Amino acid sequence: MCAESELELGEAIKVIVDGVAVALVKDSAGNCFALGDMCSHADISLSEGFVEGDDLECWAHGGRFELSTGRARTLPASEPVPVYPLTIVDGDVYVDVTTLVDVAAYVA
Ligand code: FES
């Protein structure tokens, strides 16, 4: 996919994995996430947005998505975006778009 070193703290980049647009995100703590790149509110690339704490914020209307679960935290976004399993092996980032992260583990 890419080298982890290509991901800057607090930044998102767009990559295509098996034809699926993915926003690769590294939060300010250095944790990495792979979310579907399409905002659930409209046809906008989330990787062009902003990493704000534990969220990825869409630049178009300010909808925010939790990085670990993809759930929409603020309107006008109300539907979640997918979160894909991400692994880092020897400094390289791998994303599996054939399955989704079990977000139940993150929901209290
Ligand atoms: S297009 Fe993302 S919040 Fe509207």
Q: What is the pLDDT of residues 8-61, one digit of tens each?
A: 999 999 999 999 999 999 998 999 999 999 999 999 999 999 999 999 999 999
| Ligand 1 pocket test, candidate residues 37, 38, 39, most atoms within 8 A of CB | 39
Ligand 1 atom nearest to 49, measured from its CA: 2
pLDDT at 1 over 90: no
Residue 67: pLDDT band (50, 70, 90) is very high
- Report DSSP letters for the chain, one per residue: -EEGGGSPTTEEEEEEETTEEEEEEE-TTS-EEEEESB-SSSS-BGGGSEEETTEEE-TTT--EEETTT--B-STT--S---EE-EEEETTEEEE-TTS---GGGT--
* Whole-structure pTM value: 0.92
Spans of all domains in the chain:
2-105
Distance 39 CA to ligand 1 centre (A): 6
Does CATH number 2.102.10.10 belong to domain 2-105?
yes
